[in-house]
Structure 1
Amino acid sequence: MAGLRFHSRFLVLCAILLILTRCHGQLCLPEKHIALFVFGDSLYDVGNNNYINTNSDYRSNVWPYGETTFKYPTGRFSDGRIIPDFIAEYAKLPLISPYLNPAYRQYADGANFASAGAGALVGTHRGFVVDLQAQLSYFKNLIGMLRRKLGDTDARALLGRAVYLFSIGINDYLAPFATNSNARYLLILIAYFRAKEIHKNGGRKFGFQSLPPVGSLPSRRAVNHGAATEEAIARVILHNKVLPKVLVKLERKQLKGFRYSMANMVQGREDRMLWNCPYRGINSCGGRRSVKEYELCDDPKEYVFFDSAHPSQTAHEQLAKLTWSGTPIHTGTYNLKALFQL
């Protein structure tokens, strides 16, 4: 009798698991599984540039990067984890691997396409990075793989539930360029919203962020602000004013079902330190750039910046928490937690 009860309970449990999961070959997903797809620059790059032909300015695969958590350099421009890593943790996902990692195949959890140095415009650091257009091309390739593995219906459902995270634009403003156009920020916004292509493929939930204040970067604080820096500061301020208005227009008038979070990185940093580790604003971390000597700080968690332009793990975690569960003053109508719950 006890054996019969056990057998019955076992069958019930199996039935529940079948209801809660969808299996396709070796891939089984919870019915409400939500993936995370990441696009952007060095703030979000988890190692894609390790797999492309570029130079040391766009790679962080040297010590002391990665020293705090991973104990080895992973390709992240920080001493440890960065914003997408924390968001994945909060969403109960595994670490989202770089798309270009040939060993990574768990695409149903998401993928990270971000590339350090990348811009929204194709011409920004051309030949050294994976620009946003190329990142979206990789994403389309991934969609094809998901359709082959899951079938069209389930692949589209996964893409519709997924959250799409973006950090892009700052390199477009900081990179040298030949033409001086006051409308450049409009070109960036146009390129930025290649995200519409994701919407066409079923994407509905997006996470954006304002650009960080250029003047607070140690690399800029270490030198006198010239005309180019002042111009970049002005354009970033203008960008941050225009972007929320564009998002509202997309939500209300252009893209059906479009929902977004808009993290205010400027607001998020107002009460934080702006100091960086002791080698200050010199681009020397790891000793593989033009300046070979560098001084490593004893405790990176005491600082906002780990190198001349990139946050420490502690700062990344603070910004990730703000993005995940911040109030409307920090994130707009939705924070990322709310998007994952939709």
Structure 2
Amino acid sequence: MSPQTMRLLDSFRLRMACRAILVLLVVAIGGANGLTDCPTAFFNFGDSTTDTGSLENVAPGDPGLPPYGMQFFGEPSKRYAHGRVIPDFFALAFKTPLLQPYIQAGAYDFRHGVNFAVSGSTASNDSTVTPLYLPIQLNQFIRFYKTTESVKRQKGKCSPLAKFLPSKKAFENALYTIKFGGNDLPLAFLHNGSNIASGMNVIINKVIPDAMTNHENAMETLYRYGARRFLLTGLDNVGCSPNFVSQYSTFPLDDRGCLLFPRESVASWNGALVQLVERMRAKLTGASIGLFNVSAGSEEIRSNLSKFGFNPNLSTQVCCGAPGGPVDNNYNSQIKCGHPGSSVCDNVGEHIYWDGPHLTEPYQRLLAIMLLEAKYTSSGVNYTSLCNLDYSKFGDDVTFDEVYGDTCEVTFTS
């Protein structure tokens, strides 16, 4: 971990201590919406940015190959990352087991929640990459909830399983996190090739309305099943991803090397999400609904790359990839990370992008801290202060074995 990031974490710890008195006051008066307890479980819905193994368990592929997972885990861990993703940092901060994917073989400990996120999924109804988009993930949650109820009602032979499932209180006290969009917009553009206007038309009139409808239905359904804490994440500028820049290599870029044309669609998505959250706050009585403005968080990081330990000269470069693509950014769609001909950079901590579409662990760590601090989050809960969270296991030098020892927290692929 860079000295700059260490200083940042130290600063967070100091602010955490200073806010202890404020937390006591909040608890004393009942807090916003009366939700003053810390979440004891987590249920996540999303795409590859938060997937902890679902797609790899269904269709083994790139995240089952080294060098994926080599940071922290020491071997491929079924994540599209060289190390941890945001749900992993949440687990480390709250000192809970890592969030297990819903789709996997074997029986695992789900007492602290389930991860329904699947790489390639959308919030709209585009199943180009995977049919497990948001409505299906929601159905999986319902099935899991009902299965849990059924198992706990039965005695005898089901008793050994019951102890590994969430309690009713865990469902009610959980934090429900939702993050989509990173596939919805790019897929709409790709379906329309170089006809950007046509892609925009589909996004504005079809993709975003469908996605917001599915978000709304998901939140209302989860609310009926006891959910009261929601944390949604907006969409960052998809036009900065090296793979997308390579796909549209002849289109204009801004001074940071990001495509210009996706900006309007990203703004429209985020604007619709703001309106949705405002409606849901009025409809879901007693619920806490936070919305993280990830664009603002990323802007802070990208405007101060050196401060956060990143190399400004590498801001558009892929760490794990291969040269030979249409853009000089080490992304080659024919030679992807983990495949013969690809290589890994020596200074991954100075990079923003890991394999093209996915961020490096240091960048995800910063976003996780912002989420936990409710920074750039409307009506968010500062869980760092409220729950006295511990970031001591966030460092680059921390390993899976050090934290979790000889446990079955992750099913590896090697």
Which band: TM-score by shorter chain?
0.7 to 0.9
TM alignment of 1:55-204, pairs within 5 A? 56=61, 59-125=62-128, 128-150=130-152, 155-175=167-187, 176-177=190-191, 180-181=201-202, 182-184=204-206, 185-193=208-216, 194-204=218-228
Rounded Cα–Cα distance in structure 1 between residues aligned with 2:68 and 2:250 = 27
2:62 paired with 1:48: no
Give the secondary structure class of the aligned counterpart of 2:291: strand
Rounded Cα–Cα distance in structure 2 between residues aligned with 1:150 and 1:340 = 31
Q: How far is 1:336 from its partner?
A: 5.7
2:234 paired with 1:210: yes
Rounded Cα–Cα distance in structure 1 between residues aligned with 2:286 and 2:105 = 34
AA at the equivalent of 2:348? P
The aligned residue for residue 273 of structure 2 is 243
Rounded Cα–Cα distance in structure 2 between residues aligned with 1:277 and 1:32 = 37
CA pair 161-129 structure 1, distance change in 2 beyond 3 A: same
AA at the equivalent of 1:192? H
Contact 2:100 2:110 in 1 (8 A): no
Spell out, residue by residue over 1:307-328, the C-alpha distance to the aligned partner (whole angstroms, 9 max, x if none): 101011111111100100143x
AA at the equivalent of 2:273? L
Contact 2:237 2:262 in 1 (8 A): no
CA pair 225-60 structure 1, distance change in 2 beyond 3 A: farther
Spell out, residue by residue over 1:268-326, the C-alpha distance to the aligned partner (whole angstroms, 9 max, x if none): 111334333354333443344xxx52231112111111110101111111110010014
The aligned residue for residue 281 of structure 1 is 331
Rounded Cα–Cα distance in structure 1 between residues aligned with 2:66 and 2:121 = 22
AA at the equivalent of 2:354? F
Rounded Cα–Cα distance in structure 1 between residues aligned with 2:296 and 2:99 = 27
Rounded Cα–Cα distance in structure 2 between residues aligned with 1:92 and 1:114 = 21
CA pair 52-209 structure 1, distance change in 2 beyond 3 A: same
The structure, 1 or 2, with the larger RCO (C-alpha pairs under 8 Å, 6+ apart) is: 2
AA at the equivalent of 2:293? N
Rounded Cα–Cα distance in structure 2 between residues aligned with 1:304 and 1:33 = 30
Equivalent residue for 1:260, pick from 281, 284, 289: 289
Task: State TM-score, norm by structure 1.
Answer: 0.79
Name the % identity.
22
Q: How far is 1:122 from its partner?
A: 2.9
Rounded Cα–Cα distance in structure 2 between residues aligned with 1:286 and 1:216 = 18
Q: How far is 1:129 from its partner?
A: 4.7
Q: Say what the alpha-carbon RMSD is for the aligned residues.
A: 2.7
Contact 2:337 2:343 in 1 (8 A): no
2:379 paired with 1:333: yes
2:43 paired with 1:37: yes
Equivalent residue for 2:343, pick from 295, 308, 317: 295
Q: How far is 1:87 from its partner?
A: 0.9
Aligned length in residues: 299
The aligned residue for residue 313 of structure 1 is 361
Contact 1:156 1:201 in 2 (8 A): no
Task: State TM-score, norm by structure 2.
Answer: 0.66
AA at the equivalent of 1:51? N
Give the secondary structure class of the aligned counterpart of 2:232: strand
Give the secondary structure class of the aligned counterpart of 1:306: coil
Rounded Cα–Cα distance in structure 2 between residues aligned with 1:317 and 1:141 = 32
Rounded Cα–Cα distance in structure 1 between residues aligned with 2:38 and 2:243 = 44
Contact 1:114 1:135 in 2 (8 A): yes
Q: How far is 1:217 from its partner?
A: 0.9
Give the secondary structure class of the aligned counterpart of 1:170: coil
AA at the equivalent of 1:337? Y
Rounded Cα–Cα distance in structure 1 between residues aligned with 2:386 and 2:215 = 22
Rounded Cα–Cα distance in structure 2 between residues aligned with 1:155 and 1:183 = 41
Give the secondary structure class of the aligned counterpart of 2:120: coil
Q: How far is 1:143 from its partner?
A: 0.5
Spell out, residue by residue over 1:182-225, the C-alpha distance to the aligned partner (whole angstroms, 9 max, x if none): 32212211122222211111111111111110121111333233
Give the secondary structure class of the aligned counterpart of 1:164: strand
Equivalent residue for 1:324, pick from 366, 372, 375: 372
Unaligned runs of at least 5 residues, structure 2? 1-36, 155-165, 193-197, 253-258, 306-314, 322-329, 388-414
The aligned residue for residue 4 of structure 1 is none
Rounded Cα–Cα distance in structure 1 between residues aligned with 2:273 and 2:237 = 15
Q: How far is 1:234 from its partner?
A: 1.8
Contact 1:124 1:171 in 2 (8 A): no
